[in-house]
Amino acid sequence: MNKIEAKHRIEKLSEELRKHNHRYYVLDNPIMSDFDFDKLLKELQVLENEYPEFLDANSPTQRVGGSVTKSFTSKEHKFPMLSLGNTYSQEEIRDFDNRVRKMLGDQAYSYVCELKYDGAAISLTYINGELAFALTRGDGVAGDDITNNIKTISSIPLKLQGDGFPEYFEIRGEVFMPLKGFENMNKTRVDGGLEPFSNPRNSASGSLKTQDSSIVASRPLDCYLYGVIAAERVSNSHFDSLNKAKAWGFKVPPFIERCENVDELWAFINKWEEGRHKLPFEIDGIVIKVDDLDFQEELGNTAKSPRWAISYKFPAERQATILESVSYQVGRTGAITPVANLQPVELAGTIVKRASLHNKQIIEQLDLYLNDAVWVEKGGEIIPKITGVIKEKRAVDAKMVQYIEECPECETILIQKEGEANHYCPNEMGCPPQIKGKIEHFISRKAMNIMGIGAETIDLMFENSLILNYADLYKLDRESLLPLDRMAEKSVDKILQGLEESKKVPFERVLFSLGIRFVGSTVAKKLAKEVGSIEELAKQNFEQLIAIDEIGDRIAQSILDFFDDEMNLENIAVLKAFGLQFEREEDDVEGSDVLNGASFVVSGVFSLFSRDELKATIEQYGGKNTSSLSKKTAFLIAGDKMGPSKLEKAEKLGIKIISEAEFKAMIE
């Protein structure tokens, strides 16, 4: 394929992928399988790597992320992002309508009603039909540039379709996290030994300010756009301009209605106050806007809010019920979580029977007694929580909730670690929930990824004394497994095959699977690269550990504690005997030490390498990747569109700035 043919093929693939992406994420009407889509995307990636001169910043391949933004640049909004005033009653809605009528006089007007999405407000700017940059709301005058992260959200078009859009315009909307995606993401985090996120709203907002865009790409984010702003209007009607935006490829919400009077406004509010619990995402109210843009201009703004729009906030739903008892759960790390067992009550569309009490301090703050009448709310519309006690209903002989002193599973005396709110069971090797939790972590996808074994299978094996720790998994055989309930030959073969395949898992994932506290998958990868083997890691002292990039005091002490435990050492010995990988495979590359441990920071857009390829090559040739500039940084590899602040800092610190061509010359 020559250059001309490659250029045409890249353009054709890009256009085809954009169309299918729009059908899948915006119209929810795919006509191509995921397999075929991925196949075309891979072909495009290969061609763009081979012909980097034809790589478009808004290519479909740029949605996978990979760029790292150490600090987000503040950028002024061309049109201020004002916040809306809030109302909470029908009377306040009528007051708003009276103010509008008074200012507009006898002119006939209508409203547009929209759902108020519970996420993070954003502003997208398009120039000549392509996404130019994306900003957060910030203080309304200026926001943070989050363009790299926004590009990873598949429902946001990078290039527009059709015609009729202004040369330069903004479109505003809300990035949110659908409830199902939030639930699945938290399950994955828990399976990986991480803390679950608290609610979809904070998860969406936090994701947009995550420095690594590849992490943002892995989050189940979506976006609705609901406001076109342009110097040259596309319509005098807000409602009609949204329909035009829909034709350009934007995901405009279908939950929008025109209303002619307050009664219709209130009917819309009532409909969604009830219907919101059936939506696949969270809303916290309704937004009401005057439809005519000339009228919006005539009504104007206050210093903080538009006079032509207002929001109605749903009251936080809560119900009174009875605290029947408090039980205690033991997690994989031994953390104790108190749980309130409630008289069942319907809340936000579901029956609530339990609510987390988090820790001893929360129980004391609430001043809880057994059989108290309590107020229960759903935090973020997801997690039930007790928000207060109706003390006037407390019985005279009621007994105060006493936090337990012993583990509810193994009766070991609980401990509270310095600086932590939770209490812990220290019996790691003898407490059943901790043992089973560690085994579940060991077999999880990001760890050993052992097929054929799940939580129920682990329970079955543990109850039959076949496994008492994760090392025992490799002692399993057909004779011990076949007699178990619901265990057929096919299931046994799958388990044994999964165990055999796991022996090929690289050291970094084996290290993560051991469940060392605070050692997640990223830290495990860093440690595996730096120390090379489990033997070397076990030899490290505190000072040596904290000298490794990104290893702090807490992680270092946790590693030392892990290797001080004789049972952990015995488990490692068993796993080594069964052939698991406890040593990092060396890269078989001639001249792999040519960079001699020098630290590099990679910044900007490159043509000879992708950012990931650059970083991999640095490591391959004996260098180190660091995320930020410091006195220890030896080289800054500068690409196109690198921020001026990073360049200025590098010059100030005396760091050598090189191009990717100069880097290539170094390793050659």
Catalytic residues: 116
Report yes or no: 662 and 639 within 8 Å, Cβ to Cβ.
no
3-class secondary structure for 180-197? Answer: HHHHHHHHHHHHCCCCCC
The tokens of 228 are what? 């076109």
Strands 309-313 and 86-87: parallel
Residue 291 buriedness (CB in 10 A; 0-12 / 13-18 / 19+) = buried
The tokens of 362 are what? 């929360």
DSSP designation for 605 = B
Rg of the chain on CA atoms, in Å: 29
DSSP designation for 392 = G
Strands 222-229 and 111-117: unpaired
| 448-453-458 Cα angle (round to 5) | 105
CA distance 386 to 378: 9
The tokens of 224 are what? 């609705």
CA distance 580 to 578: 6
Residue 546 buriedness (CB in 10 A; 0-12 / 13-18 / 19+) = middle
In sequence order, the 6+-apart residues with CB closer than 8 A to the CB of 137 are 81, 120, 121, 122, 123, 143
Residue 170 buriedness (CB in 10 A; 0-12 / 13-18 / 19+) = buried
Sheet holding 373-379, edge to edge: 350-356, 336-347, 318-330, 373-379, 383-389
